[in-house]
Amino acid sequence: MSEHCSVCGRSIDEREQPYVRNDRVICSNCHYRLSRPAPRENWFVRAMNAALSVMVTGVLFILGVSMILAAPPGAITIVCLFIVVFAEREAKKRKK
On whether both 61 and 79 belong to a single domain, the answer is yes
Total structural domains within the chain: 2
On whether both 26 and 54 belong to a single domain, the answer is no
What is the spatial distance between Cα 11 and Cα 57, in angstroms, rounded to a whole number? 52
pLDDT of residue 73: 67
- pTM for the complete prediction? 0.39
On whether both 51 and 76 belong to a single domain, the answer is yes
Give yes or no for residue 1 having a pLDDT over 70.
no
Summarize pLDDT for 50-94 with one digit per residue, the tens: 888 877 877 777 777 777 777 676 776 777 777 777 778 887 777
The helix (H) or strand (E) run that includes residue 3 is strand 3-4
Q: Give residue 79's domain range.
A: 43-95
Give yes or no for residue 41 having a pLDDT over 70.
no
Which residue intervals of the chain are DSSP H helices?
28-35, 43-69, 73-95
